[in-house]
Amino acid sequence: MNQYKNFNQYRYVCENGSPITLKQYLKTKYAYSSRLMTRIIREGKMTINGKSCWSTDEVKKGDIIFIQMPTEHVDLLPVSGPLDILYEDDEVLAVNKDPGLVTHPTKSHGGDTLGNLVAAYFIRTHQPAKVRFVSRLDMDTSGVILIAKNKYVQHFLQSHITVPKMEKYYTAYVNNCPVPYAGTINLPIGMASADGIRREVRTDGKPSVTHYRVLKVYGKKQYAKIKLRLETGRTHQIRVHLSHMGCPIIGDHLYNPIQQDLGISRTALHASELTVTLPKNGRQMVTAPLKADLLALENRLENL
């Protein structure tokens, strides 16, 4: 039996001053999509004051709306393995991803991804949920990743209509110290070549904004530890922006031309914090401790 008593269930008391259709009320106040409401009525359960209803029915102040999401099942190959769980409730799961781990299955990674580990965890804990990533990270990047446990939560977190946008903070170790010590990089990013991998700052790119602040300086400003906040989420955004300003991330084989041996074989980038507003539990801040290889790197830098 699932550990969460009200898994996939939602109960609302209408607060609208005048009658309004259920569809309009749920869409404007709770970010439900029309498609999801149709699916809930067809495959799940939706009632007003205990009676079955349609999305076109009216609700008035004091009416009790009950929703049971459609039953779902794990849709990825389950593979047992370690999962560093940071936060969990009946709507989301937040984990601290290891470096070198692909987020979701691809043609070349069908069963050795974080998605496979989460699928096995959902089955082991009897949670009837698909694996829906709300945030993702590059293979080499470690840190917090958020998974929604139903379609509504995924849509709610990605709509940005009725809730604040997720705030994502990263920690990076770079060559050279940025000047000034704090600022904003507002430079468009686009594809650098036809291989579909490298990105670069270019005038015809998409708007990209990264805020940064130096936390520590090592040696004679040869290296620095930086905290970053993303305002946009372009592919390789942090890596491209830092490289462009002359402070490439240590270990980044794609964007760092500086050859060095600091004992780390991957990009020294970590998703350290995620702040999100959840439908049931409101604003939550999830922090991810640095992985062992980054702690070892920091120790080396401090002893230069």
What does the alpha-carbon distance between residue 193 and residue 200 come to, in Å, rounded to a whole number?
Answer: 9
- What per-residue confidence (pLDDT) applies to 106? 83
- Using pLDDT thresholds of 50, 70 and 90, give the confidence band for residue 259: confident
Separation in Å, CA 31 to CA 20, 24, 117, 155, 277: 15, 10, 30, 8, 13
* Residue 176 pLDDT exceeds 90: yes
Residue percentage of the chain with pLDDT more than 70: 97
Give the span between the Cα atoms of 127 and 96, in whole angstroms: 20
- At 160, is the pLDDT very low, low, confident or very high (cuts 50, 70, 90)? low
Angle (CA) 232-284-11 rounded to 5° is 110
Give me the domains of the chain, ranges plus CATH numbers: 9-68 (3.10.290.10), 72-159 (3.30.2350.10), 167-270+297-302 (3.30.2350.10)
The residues that are catalytic are 138
C-alpha 281/C-alpha 150 separation (Å) is: 15
Q: Which of 104-108, 145-149, 169-173, 244-248 has the lowest mean pLDDT?
A: 104-108
The 10s digit of each residue's pLDDT in 47-102 is 999 999 999 999 999 999 999 999 999 999 999 999 999 999 999 999 999 999 99
Neighbours of 302 (CB within 10 A): 12
CA pseudo-torsion sign 104, 108, 110, 116: negative
Question: What's the CA gap between 72 and 40, in Å, rounded?
Answer: 12
- Answer whether residue 191 shows pLDDT above 80: yes
Name the pLDDT band for 144 (thresholds 50, 70, 90).
Answer: very high
The whole-number pLDDT of residue 5 equals: 66
Residue 290: closest CA among 276, 301, 277:
301
Q: What average pLDDT score do residues 20-29 get?
A: 94
pLDDT over threshold 60, residue 189:
yes
Show the 3-state SS of the chain. Answer: CCCCCCCCEEEEECCCCCCEEHHHHHHHHHCCCHHHHHHHHHHCEEEECCEECCCCCEECCCCEEEEECCCCCCCCCCCCCCCCEEEECCCEEEEEECCCCECCCCCCCCCCEHHHHHHHHHHHCCCCCCCEECCCCCCCCEEEEEEECCHHHHHHHHHCCCCCCCEEEEEEEEECCCCCCEEEEECCEEECCCCCCCEEECCCCECCEEEEEEEEEECCCCEEEEEEEECCCCCCHHHHHHHHCCCCECCCCCCCCCCCCCCCCCCCEEEEEEEEEECCCEEEEEECCCCHHHHHHHHHHHCC
When pLDDT is averaged across residues 141-158 and rounded to a whole number, the result is: 95
Pairing of strands 132-133, 209-218: unpaired
pLDDT value at residue 261: 87
pLDDT of residue 213: 98
Q: Which whole number is the average pLDDT over 286-301?
A: 97
Mean pLDDT rounded to a whole number for the chain = 93
pLDDT at 140 over 60: yes
Pair 304, 219: CB distance under 8 Å = yes
Interval 193-236: pLDDT, tens: 777 889 999 999 999 999 999 999 999 899 999 999 999 989 99
What is the rounded CA–CA span in Å between residue 238 and residue 149? 28
Torsion of CA 213, 216, 221, 227, to 10 degrees: -30
pLDDT of residue 1: 40
- Token digits of residue 169: 């903070």
Question: What predicted TM-score, i.e. pTM, was given to this entire model?
Answer: 0.92
